[in-house]
Amino acid sequence: MSKLFPFGSKQDTDYQQPIVKSWHLFLLVFFVGSLFICNTQIGKKQQKERVEWIFLDKKIIVYAYKITNDELPKPIYRNIKVVYEDNLIYREDNSNFVSNFGILPIGRQISNNRYELLLGFEDKRNEKILRLIGTGNELLKQDTLPLFQGGHRDEDADGNAEFVGFLEKYPIYCTDCDSVYYNPLQIYEMQEDGFVLDKQACRAWIDEHYSDFYGFAPNSDKRVSLLKEIESP
């Protein structure tokens, strides 16, 4: 005699519970992870745009690629080329250049049929200005200026506007002490010969803020006592 079971019990139906295999879970995790990675990559998508700046009636053209993405606080510029009447006079492919909120680069005519070009770039610790001086398709001089901060003003009341900035960005030398690394404020005047360091104004600033004078260039090997708190330019 067969044994009776209540209707709907496991023994009374051919229905079986579905078996979830491990490879099903793997596919599900892989699919969800792929969606997350794709969305992340879209959010970080980098855009690259060819740009140019034109100076001196199209005699000087600066070419670059403008790079933006979600992780950059502001655009950077790569693969800089400076051309004078179709002649390449400067090229840099390995550095990041900056526009300082659209102010740079700047190109202008200076004395003796020369031109001066200012390009902002990123250094290890600080943003600076690369200054190129040339005549025709010949590059005569290349040096570094501080990235000028704030509005230009007449620092020493000599009737000329000055442009100021710190060339280096040294770390704090010590806490709870009055010593700092030697990093004097750089003060420049825009003259017919180009941007010129105003040594008199620089010396006055150094004497007011530092205990010792070690020249106008910053020097991390020198420490001085701070006579007056340094304010941002």
Cis preceding linkage at 184, omega within 30: no
Give the β-pairing of 97-98 and 114-122: antiparallel
Residues in the chain: 233
Q: pLDDT (tens digit, 0 to 9) for every residue of the chain, 233 residues total?
A: 444 334 344 444 454 555 555 555 555 555 545 544 444 444 457 899 999 999 999 999 999 999 999 888 899 999 999 999 999 999 999 999 999 989 999 999 999 999 999 999 999 889 999 999 999 999 999 999 999 987 777 767 777 789 999 999 999 999 888 999 999 999 999 999 999 999 999 999 999 999 999 999 999 999 999 999 998 87
Assess if residue 202 is contained within a domain: yes
Assess if residue 31 is contained within a domain: no
pLDDT of residue 175: 85
**Residue 121 CB contacts under 8 Å (≥ 6 apart), including other chains:** 95, 96, 97, 98, 127, 128, 129, 130
Domain that holds residue 196: 149-233
Residues 127 and 182 reside in one and the same domain: no
pLDDT of residue 26: 53
Residues 115 and 156 reside in one and the same domain: no
pLDDT of residue 198: 95
